[in-house]
Amino acid sequence: MRWLALSLSAVFLACAAPAAAQQIPTVEIVSIKTAPPTPTGGRPSCAESDKPVGLPTTCPILKYHGYTYWPFGLIHGGMQVVGFDAKGNIVGRWDAPAVSDVWKIVAAPQSRLIVFIGKGKSKFVILRDRLLAFGPPGGLTITQMDFKKLLCDFDKLCQPTLSESAGVIDLPGGVMGSVHLFGLQFAGAYGTLGGGKTEYLFRIDMSKALSAEETPNCITELKLDVGPINKLAYAASGVPSEIIVGEPPADMGAGLYSATVTGNTVNFVFDEPVCPGPTVGSGLSSRYFGFASIYPPKPSTATVVWSGTPDGTTTATTPAHP
């Protein structure tokens, strides 16, 4: 299984948005000398073109809802988008270790994405609304874990019978190749933690999808009709959890930012957009994520949320709840 993904982590600080501020993100080129100070003494990671020569004197920045976002360099390489309020206080940080020397920021009005473009055409892509969310919303508990150990929770020999499913996701304009929603299901044996339950795992695979767009159309959310979910204290984590997600480095790709419930539907929001790549094999994928249910599998339909076009659908296997 091949995983190619931009590493992303976020550190959030609580803050409320100003009552009156610009609703549309804008990009400005400003003097690098105007960069706000940071507690770590970091310096802006900027460039004046895709082929920089010498030290930059200007830097692209983003302004959105009264906040200002600068690209700052990380000590061990890469950069970090740092958000500031009007008083110069830091409100959030978003790491992009694979990107540096940001020379362009794209905030296309028709897309919900912000793209920071750096050296070597590297990109950091983030949902613009994530820049205003200084902490995940309430919802189901999410725990990272090693999925190899997960199998032992459902079978004493750690070899449960696996069933696979694959749904083809229709491609919007600007995206070529193929995109799939893969699924795994396995029932728990009597006398195990998962006895009487079925584990459902899902993964978005966009590794074979291509796009030449500067602001690509990416998958940001997946909605599944799953019914009641069982909270289990999986052995690999020891923490009672409703939603589990694969743990790096064994499982690489986009993780989960939140999982919220409306009726019988769970809305899974990825912690970074799952985007097509510029070449075959360079597209992103999500990690495996899932849950346990007392109900057996049935064919159903999943809703796929794209960043720049209307929602799509694909086939999925989910619990046959009442």
Instruction: In whole angstroms, give the CA distance from residue 254 to residue 274.
Output: 7
Coil, strand or helix at 170? coil
pLDDT of 17 strictly over 70: no
Burial of 58 (0-12, 13-18, 19+ CB in 10 A): middle
- What confidence tens digit (pLDDT) does each residue in 87-125 have? 999 988 888 888 999 999 998 777 788 999 998 888 899
Alpha carbons 228 and 225: distance in angstroms, whole number: 10
Q: What are the percentages of helix, strand and coil residues in the chain, rounded to 5?
A: 5, 45, 50
Q: How confident is the model at residue 200 (pLDDT cuts 50, 70, 90)?
A: very high
Q: Under 8 Å CB-to-CB from 157, ≥6 apart: which residues?
A: none
Written as six digits, the tokens of 194 are: 């998962």
Residues in the chain: 322
Work out the pLDDT band at 188, boundaries 50, 70, 90. Answer: very high
pLDDT at position 308: 78
Domain ranges of the chain: 9-132, 142-319
Mean pLDDT of the chain: 86
Distance CA 269, CA 190 (A): 33
More confident residue, 84 or 216: 84
Higher pLDDT, 205 or 41: 205
Residue type, 119: K
**pLDDT exceeds 70 at position 180:** yes
Q: Is the pLDDT of residue 72 over 80?
A: yes
Instruction: Identify the pLDDT of residue 209.
Output: 92
pLDDT at 172: 84
**CA distances, 131 to each of 44, 114, 260 (Å):** 18, 9, 19
Task: Collect all residues with Cβ–Cβ distance below 8 Å to 296 and sequence separation of at least 6.
Answer: 187, 198, 319, 320
Per-residue confidence (pLDDT) for residue 22, from 0 to 100 = 55
Q: Is residue 1's pLDDT more than 50? A: no
pTM above 0.75, yes or no: yes
Share of the chain above pLDDT 90, in %: 57
The predicted structure's pLDDT at residue 135: 62
Closest by CA position to 319, among listed 214, 185, 222, 140? 185
- Cis peptide, bond prior to residue 249, ω within 30 of zero: yes
CA–CA separation, 169 and 304 (whole Å)? 8
| Four-residue CA torsion sign, 248, 253, 257, 260 | negative
Burial class of 237 by CB neighbour count within 10 A (0 to 12, 13 to 18, 19+): middle
If you average pLDDT over residues 46-59, what whole number do you get? 89
Tens-place pLDDT, residues 257-273? 899 999 999 999 998 89
Position 20 pLDDT exceeds 80: no
Q: For 78, which DSSP code? A: S
The CA–CA distances, whole Å, from 164 to 14, 202, 219, 227, 235 equal 41, 10, 22, 20, 24
What confidence score (pLDDT) does residue 316 get? Answer: 97
The beta-strand segments (E) located in 137-264 are 142-145, 163-168, 176-177, 180-187, 198-205, 209-210, 219-225, 232-233, 240-241, 243-246, 256-262
Predicted local confidence at residue 249, as pLDDT: 66
Q: Over 90: is that where the pLDDT of 60 sits? A: yes
Phi–psi pair at 103, nearest 5 degrees: -115, -10
In this predicted structure, what is the pLDDT of residue 8? 28
Question: For residue 3, what pLDDT band results from cuts at 50, 70 and 90?
Answer: very low
Out of 28-32, 89-93, 287-291, which region has the weakest mean confidence (pLDDT)?
89-93
pLDDT of residue 129: 82
> What pLDDT digit, counting tens, does each position of 124-154 carry?
999 888 888 766 666 899 988 888 889 999 9
Cα separations in angstroms, 215 against 8, 105, 212, 278: 18, 10, 9, 11
pLDDT value at position 19? Answer: 38
Cα dihedral sign for 245, 249, 251, 253? positive
Edge to edge, the sheet with strand 163-168 lists: 142-145, 243-246, 289-293, 198-205, 180-187, 163-168
What pLDDT was estimated at residue 174?
81
Report, as an integer, the average pLDDT of 317-321.
Answer: 97
Beta-strand pair 123-127/240-241: unpaired
